[in-house]
Structure 1
Amino acid sequence: MRSWKDIQWPMADTMGEVLHNIGMNKLRTAATGFAMASGLFLVIVLQGAGNGVIHTFERNAGDFSFNAIHVFGGSTTMPYHGMKEGRHIQLDERDVDMARRHFSAQVESAVPVLEHSGLVASRGDCHLSNVKVSGVWPQFAQIEAVRIVEGRFINPIDLEQHRKVIVLPDKQADMLFPQGEHAVGGIVDIGGIPWRVCGVSKTNGDQWDTEFYAPYSTVSAIYGKGNRIDRLSMVMRRVLNGNESQAFRDEYTRATSQIHDFSPQDLSALWIWNQAEDSRAMNQAMGILHTAFWVLGLLTMVSGVVGVSNIMLISVKERTREFGIRRAIGARPWSIVRMVMLESLVITLAFGYAGMVLGVVFCQYMDSVAGNQTLDVGVMQAKMFIDPTVDLSTCLTATLIMVVCGTLAGFFPARKAVRMKPVDALRS
């Protein structure tokens, strides 16, 4: 029976010969390794970038309630009852009453929202321009998924007593109340009117950054809104599917057309935004995006494997005479195949690991650079990338696939070469 030492020495000799062959063919080794490392690097970077985009979509989707519908006034595009097209439809409190009474079977709650923009908020030496104060009801926090990190949101007593209290976004609160001051309870001047801060909301840089929330009744009284409203937000009793959403949209447009005297077929008179439809479209887009990045990654891996295979094929072809000499002096075919496979394994492991590490490092670089940048689209600021990283299982799976394919890329040409007769191999 062979001892461990009897097995250990041949293995050591074989590995020494493998490393010697690799060192003697630096250009070939570098070409094979580059194909392996670049393929794996691109796979990980593509997956990381795809995850960054998908995480951004998911974060934005998490900021909304999927059973909410918002209605905005639009402009008519059809003449109706002697009136020309181009009329602006101004929503008012009649729309709120109609939604609550005529659509009670579908609508759980309907609340109006007022908006007053272009204000300046100041405290001490800090002045913030282009501030928007939104007059809201307490249910608004549920509709827009407002997250309170300090204090509270608007409550019914604030509406009843017309209190001048306000909820600040966290970033604006930090600017108005610097050096660790508590914003809640403080006074902020907005448009020449003092407001007491009752709460601070979390924005994460991807919500309406300059939107301050105040009681609906207070905003209506201060800015003379009368019975006009800027938008109507409704919470549905359940999430509507595509057909139900379209049926509700048509029915609601017909009911509203009787109030504001426009054609029921005029689709531009109202803008109805169903967040559930956006959610479905977003989920579909994320699924397509995820599949596309995986397909690109797999194609990149295939190109890397093809590159490794071609180089190994050329390498084995160049060494056919060497294999013939080995066969002539008594080497077994399997020992030659094993040596070639070990060379492939060492090269693919070393350069595959290098490609994986470089890919992970580049993903971290994307996270540190693009992850901290925001895209300003005027009314809001959104992060471009959120956590563009790849999980460990994906890295290891991609590396394992490349290593196995690279090893097999050395096996098949070597097996074909050792099947040649030693005399034919020596002549080649």
Structure 2
Amino acid sequence: MFVYQWFLEVFDGLSSHKVKTIFRGFGVMWAMFILVLLQGAGAGLYNGMVKKFYSHSNRAFSIHSGYHPTGTIHLTEALTDDLASNLTVFEQVMPLFRINRSVTYPKLLPKTGILGVRAGYEKIKHLTLAEGRFFSERDMAQRSPVCILGLKIKTALFDTKAAVGTYITVDGTAFYVVGVLEATAGVDDDKIVIPSSLFSALFPHSVQTIDCIMCSLAPKQNPLKAEEKVRTHLARRLNFDAQDKQLLYIHNISKRASSFQLLFVVMQSFIWFVSFCFLVSGVVSVGNMMLVVVKDRTQELAIRRVLGAKSSDIISLILVESIVINLISGILGLGIGIGILQSINAYLGPVMQKHGMAYFEFEFSMVVSALVVLVLSGCLAGIIPAKRALYIKPVDALNNE
């Protein structure tokens, strides 16, 4: 009963100062609302960029034959298998075949890039599917006429229609579409990917040499040392100078990882810094309002002292009022922010993904921690002037208009 009467007194005190109560609550609500939106938008941008450029931070190699006035070298499928057998630095090694052919469904796309790959190519390039599936070992063994479309090819042929489950014609051969790639930062968006075993059967004259060798490093392997081993091994097999960087070009994707990782770290740090600034502004706003409220209620507090209220009762009253206002306002701002983020994801999610952003999300634990900080700051800001008001003599407080 005592607690019930106590809370009635708290809410009566808040309702008697409606304007100040609203402004105090609005400061907390606005800080939480902006914090949720900022964290959600920042996380969406960050996750979208990580997803888009992940291939640049992957532990992958691509080996290409170069050119030198003294001659050229030719990479072959047999050389790829030899590399996989003699070097243990790689988790996967496979040849990549490439050719340009016309594609029809029903419109004609001339000179479309066709890639012949083995199963597991998506793991090396870290590709994801918008729909469908990747190749299986069974597709490779049976030379199944199946294909995966890059997103640009899918859009050019099918527009907004579903592509999986339909047939397209590549240079007179019908292919069953089993998957569509999501947009990437690589070069596979405008390609059609088919099993390498089928590629060899359809284009036998184009498999004598390969476009490049795709590799993924085994765990705990040093990229620079692995590159040196590859160059030394191929120089011995193909009889060329291992120091000749023009004759053999190794694209070590992991070398570019540090620059992208630094970019992501700076981006995340900036988002946290701006979020912290909004949190500080909310704390300052709450503190200022508490100082003003306690100062305006000095006479009320003095009357309570005259009527026999203890110092602990007055401080508890200020604390509970602050907790109630900050908690309700913070939860309201949190709910509004989450609602707006969910609405944006529902209606603008596909558009955001096309422009390199992921769905908006936020760390719930971080937001709750921010709410706790705001509530505690309001309590601290109320305790200091409340204690100061307790030292004022009731007569002086009542005479001070």
TM-score by length of 1: 0.73
* Larger helix share, 1 or 2: 2
Aligned match for 1:155, one of 140, 151, 154: 140
Q: Given the superposition, is the C-alpha separation of residues 182 and 240 from structure 1 closer, same or farther in structure 2, using an over 3 Å criterion?
A: closer
Matched residue of 1:414: which SS?
helix
**Number of aligned pairs?**
390
Question: 1:32 aligned to 2:31?
Answer: no
User: Is the CA contact 1:56–1:386 (under 8 Å) kept in the aligned structure 2?
Assistant: yes
Aligned match for 1:123, one of 98, 105, 110: 105
Q: 1:336-378 CA deviation, whole Å, 9 max, x = no partner? A: 3333333323321232122212221232244346532267xxx
Matched residue of 1:209: which SS?
helix
Question: 1:135 aligned to 2:111?
Answer: no
**C-alpha displacement of 1:132:** 2.2
Q: 1:5-26 CA deviation, whole Å, 9 max, x = no partner? A: x6534542442233212x2xx1
For 2:102 and 2:29, the matched residues in 1 are separated by 55
Unpaired segments ≥5 residues, structure 1: 77-82, 376-381
Q: Given the superposition, is the C-alpha separation of residues 384 and 406 from structure 1 closer, same or farther in structure 2, using an over 3 Å criterion?
A: farther
Q: Given the superposition, is the C-alpha separation of residues 75 and 416 from structure 1 closer, same or farther in structure 2, using an over 3 Å criterion?
A: farther
- Of residues 286-295 and 105-114 in structure 1, the stretch that sits farther from structure 2 once superposed is 286-295
Question: 1:239 aligned to 2:211?
Answer: no
Paired-residue identity, % = 19
Aligned match for 1:8, one of 4, 7, 24: 4
Match of 1:386 in 2: 358
User: Is the CA contact 2:81–2:94 (under 8 Å) kept in the aligned structure 1?
Assistant: no
Matched residue of 1:264: which SS?
coil
Match of 1:423 in 2: 395
Match of 1:55 in 2: 47
Matched residue of 2:96: which SS?
strand
Match of 1:264 in 2: 243
Unpaired segments ≥5 residues, structure 2: none
Amino acid at match of 2:194: A
Match of 1:106 in 2: 89
**C-alpha displacement of 1:260:** 8.1
- Of residues 282-291 and 10-19 in structure 1, the stretch that sits farther from structure 2 once superposed is 282-291
Match of 1:340 in 2: 318
TM-score by length of 2: 0.77
- What is the CA RMSD across the aligned residues, in angstroms? 4.2
Q: How does 1:27-426 map to 2 (within 5 A)?
A: 28-56=20-48, 59=51, 68-73=60-65, 83=69, 91-93=74-76, 96-97=79-80, 100=83, 103-107=86-90, 110-117=93-100, 120-124=102-106, 126-127=107-108, 131-138=112-119, 140=121, 143-144=124-125, 149=132, 152-153=135-136, 154-158=139-143, 165-169=145-149, 176=158, 183=165, 186=167, 188-190=168-170, 193-206=171-184, 208-216=188-196, 219=199, 222=203, 224-225=205-206, 227-236=208-217, 238-241=218-221, 244-256=222-234, 259=238, 264=243, 266=245, 270-274=249-253, 289-290=267-268, 292-368=270-346, 371-373=349-351, 384-426=356-398
For 2:91 and 2:11, the matched residues in 1 are separated by 73
Q: 1:217-267 CA deviation, whole Å, 9 max, x = no partner? A: 66566495363322211244x2244xx211121233345457485671647
**C-alpha displacement of 1:296:** 3.8
Match of 1:80 in 2: none
User: Is the CA contact 1:337–1:414 (under 8 Å) kept in the aligned structure 2?
Assistant: yes
User: Is the CA contact 1:70–1:234 (under 8 Å) kept in the aligned structure 2?
Assistant: yes
Amino acid at match of 2:289: I
Match of 1:378 in 2: none
Amino acid at match of 2:36: I
Q: 1:260-305 CA deviation, whole Å, 9 max, x = no partner? A: 8567164795142345x66777667656655554454334222211
Q: 1:23-71 CA deviation, whole Å, 9 max, x = no partner? A: 2xx1x33432332122212222232223324433564588899564222
For 1:255 and 1:343, the matched residues in 2 are separated by 75
